[in-house]
C-alpha cells in the first residue's frame, strides 16, 4: 500500500530514526518513534519536540487585492493583518459550517497560507473558484514544513539564528537557517512555545539533523501531536470541526474578528455570515463543544456516546485520549447546551459500560505561548 502514499522530504530520516509509519491524509507519516507516544509527549512538554508537518498544504497568494479576496471567505480580519504577523482562520460554508481551519501570514509582498493535509485539494479548489483573476495562487511544492515545540524550542532554534529570540507568539519572518531563506512563525499546535518553519525541501533534512544534534530535541510523531493538542484544548479538523459545525457551536468565538462581527467596520460578508452572526446575537445553538475529564483511569475515545444521569443520550465525544501530562483521561465533544456548565457529570459509553466524566474548562493543560 505504501507505494501509493506520498512521502515528505524527511521520510528517509524517519525510517533511519526507527519511526513506525502509518498512512495519514495520503502520506506515509510517523505515528511514533522508539521513545513511544507517552515519552515523546512528555519530552515536548519538558524540552523540545520536532514534528514533520510537511503533509500540510503551503500556498502563496499574490496581488493587491489578495487580503480582501481571502477575507471574503473567512470571518477573520485579513485586510488589517500587519506585515510579519500570522492569524488563525477558518473557511465557512453557506450553512455556517467550517470547511477547514488554516493559518494566514502577511509577508508583505504576499500572503502565506497553510491548510490541513486532508483538505488541501478542496481548499485549493475553493480558493481558485472564489478568488478574483487578479489574485495569483502559487501552490508551493518545493518546501517542507517542520515544527519545533516546547520550552527549550527557542534556545535550540536560536543556535542556528539568534533572531528567532526576538519573535513573539504569532510573529512571522523570513529568516536564514542552514544557509537558506526559511519562513518562520512563532506558533504551533501543541500549546507550547515553539516555531513552524517552511524550509526549501533540498535543505530540510540538514535543518532537522542540526536541530536533532541537540540532546534536548527529539522527533515526535502523530500520536503525541494528537495528545498534546487535545490537552491544550485545540481542535482537530475532521474530528472536532467539520462542515456541519458552526464556529459558535465549536466555541471558536475568539477566532471571529471584531471587525467582521455585526457591529464591526467590515461586518459579515463572508460565506454563511448571516447564520453565524445570528447565532452570536441570539446565543441560540442546540449544542456546544465542551471539555471532559474522566473520573476513572480508562481513556474515552472519539465516537463514544455521552449520556446524562437519567441515561438520555445527549452528545458525542469527538476527540479523546489519556492525557500524559496530568495522567488523566481527557476528551472534547459536543452536548446539548443544557449540559455545558463546568462541573456537570456526564457518562461516556465505552464497550457497553458507562464511565463517569465531568465537564471541565479547557485547556486542560495551560498554554505556554511566548508573548514577550
* Contact present, 194 and 203 (Cβ < 8 Å): no
Alpha helices for 48-95 (secondary structure H): 66-71
Which residues have C-beta within 8 Å of that of residue 142, sequence separation ≥ 6? 200, 201, 202
Which backbone phi and psi does 11 adopt, to 5 degrees? -55, -50
Structure confidence by residue, pLDDT tens digits, 139-183: 999 999 999 999 999 999 999 999 999 999 999 999 999 999 999
In this prediction the pTM is 0.96
Radius of gyration from C-alpha coordinates of the chain: 21
Position 52 scores a pLDDT of: 98
Work out the number of other CB atoms within 10 angstroms of the CB of residue 281. 11
Which residues have C-beta within 8 Å of that of residue 111, sequence separation ≥ 6? 60, 61, 62, 66, 67, 70, 78, 104, 105
Position 1 scores a pLDDT of: 43
Position 3 scores a pLDDT of: 60
Looking at the DSSP assignment, which residues form a beta bridge with residue 353? 350
The pLDDT averaged over each successive group of 10 residues in the chain (372 residues) is 82 98 97 98 98 98 97 98 98 98 98 96 97 97 98 98 98 98 98 98 98 98 98 97 98 98 98 98 97 97 98 98 97 98 98 97 98 96
Looking at the DSSP assignment, which residues form a beta bridge with residue 102? 89, 115
Count of positions (residues) in the chain: 372
* Contact present, 198 and 144 (Cβ < 8 Å): yes
CA 61 to chain centre: 21
Nine-digit cell string for 236: 482537530
Nine-digit cell string for 365: 493543560
Position 2 scores a pLDDT of: 42
Nearest to 56 by CA among 162, 170, 147: 147
Nine-digit cell string for 356: 463517569
Amino acid at each position: 500500500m505504501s507505494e501509493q502514499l506520498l512521502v515528505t522530504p524527511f521520510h528517509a530520516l524517519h525510517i533511519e530514526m526507527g519511526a513506525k509509519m502509518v498512512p495519514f491524509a495520503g502520506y506515509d507519516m510517523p505515528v511514533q518513534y522508539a521513545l513511544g507516544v507517552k515519552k515523546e509527549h512528555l519530552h515536548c512538554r519538558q524540552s523540545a519536540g520536532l514534528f514533520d508537518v510537511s503533509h500540510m498544504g503551503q500556498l502563496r497568494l499574490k496581488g493587491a487585492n489578495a487580503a480582501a479576496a481571502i477575507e471574503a471567505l473567512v470571518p477573520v480580519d485579513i485586510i488589517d493583518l500587519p506585515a510579519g504577523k500570522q492569524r488563525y482562520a477558518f473557511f465557512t460554508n453557506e450553512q455556517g459550517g467550517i470547511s477547514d481551519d488554516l493559518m494566514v501570514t502577511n509577508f508583505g509582498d504576499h500572503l502565506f497560507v497553510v491548510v490541513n493535509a486532508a483538505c488541501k485539494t478542496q481548499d485549493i479548489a475553493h480558493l481558485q473558484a472564489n478568488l478574483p483573476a487578479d489574485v495569483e495562487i502559487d501552490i508551493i511544492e518545493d518546501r517542507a514544513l517542520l515544527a519545533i515545540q516546547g520550552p527549550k524550542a527557542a534556545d535550540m532554534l536560536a543556535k542556528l539564528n539568534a533572531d528567532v529570540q526576538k519573535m513573539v507568539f504569532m510573529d512571522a519572518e523570513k529568516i536564514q537557517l542552514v544557509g537558506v531563506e526559511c519562513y518562520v512563525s512563532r506558533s504551533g499546535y501543541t500549546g507550547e512555545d515553539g516555531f513552524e518553519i517552511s524550509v526549501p525541501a533540498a535543505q530540510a533534512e540538514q535543518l532537522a539533523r542540526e536541530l536533532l544534534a541537540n540532546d534536548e530535541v527529539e522527533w515526535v510523531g502523530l500520536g503525541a501531536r494528537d495528545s498534546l493538542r487535545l490537552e491544550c484544548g485545540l481542535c482537530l479538523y475532521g474530528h472536532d470541526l467539520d462542515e456541519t459545525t458552526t464556529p459558535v457551536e465549536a466555541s471558536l468565538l475568539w477566532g471571529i474578528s471584531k471587525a467582521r462581527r455585526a457591529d464591526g467596520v467590515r461586518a459579515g460578508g463572508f460565506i454563511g455570515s448571516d447564520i453565524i452572526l445570528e447565532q452570536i446575537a441570539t446565543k441560540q445553538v442546540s449544542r456546544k463543544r465542551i471539555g471532559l475529564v474522566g473520573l476513572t483511569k480508562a481513556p474515552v475515545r472519539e465516537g463514544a456516546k455521552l449520556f446524562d444521569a437519567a441515561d438520555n443520550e445527549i452528545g458525542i465525544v469527538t476527540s479523546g485520549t489519556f492525557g500524559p501530562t496530568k495522567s488523566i483521561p481527557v476528551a472534547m465533544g459536543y452536548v446539548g447546551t443544557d449540559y455545558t456548565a463546568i462541573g456537570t457529570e456526564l457518562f461516556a459509553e465505552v464497550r457497553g459500560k458507562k464511565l463517569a466524566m465531568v465537564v471541565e474548562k479547557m485547556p486542560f493543560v495551560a498554554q505556554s505561548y511566548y508573548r514577550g
